[in-house]
Chain A
């Protein structure tokens, strides 16, 4: 069974204070690892897909990286508008069209 563990559960940063969110996973044959952003009262919004160890993707202040056991979402010089819950999900080799989500990290960026 695919499993995803995200840490920390909550993270509070000052504006401009860079940090990283962690996503540890256990899957049988990783097809893809995905990051989503979820704002309060909204549905998740797709950010990145990573397929293999060593791969990196960037979007504005966010950078996602992948190893064989975990993924990191690095946030550089965050702004208050980056405050959201960040979700990690995986698709394993035995799970056609099924994503397994972690519980998320609630990020709060104070001005």
Chain B
């Protein structure tokens, strides 16, 4: 089954404790991206990657890091989480040609709470 898998789905942590949210896709997609979704603000792009070793900032990259060492994985790293990073996070992927058609495949989401 084609899917984008995120882990963990739910996490409560404390300010300053480094954490990583993993994202893996099994569709051999070149493009992967991270979004956060907040009430009243909608989905906002954090980082995206066009292919292995190629990443770029989205609209709200501050406080986040990403890496793309393998095609299937695109982890989101919060080096020193703060309460304003409490949010619902989504990973998405797409074949290169499908990005411009808007056909993104989203994961189930990871709800992060930073105390």
Contacts and interface: CB of A to CB of B under 8 A. Distances in A.
B109 A42 contact: yes
A72 B92 CA distance: 25
Contacts, number: 57
Contacts of A33: 102
Given A103-B41, A104-B42, A97 B99 contact: yes
Interface string B78-115: 00000000000010100000011111111111000000
A43 B108 contact: yes
Interface residues of B, number: 27
A10 to B, nearest CB: 13
Shortest beta-carbon contacts, A-B, top 7: A43-B106, A34-B102, A101-B43, A103-B42, A49-B102, A97-B99, A49-B101
Interface of B: 4, 31, 33, 35, 40-45, 48, 50, 58-59, 90, 92, 99-109
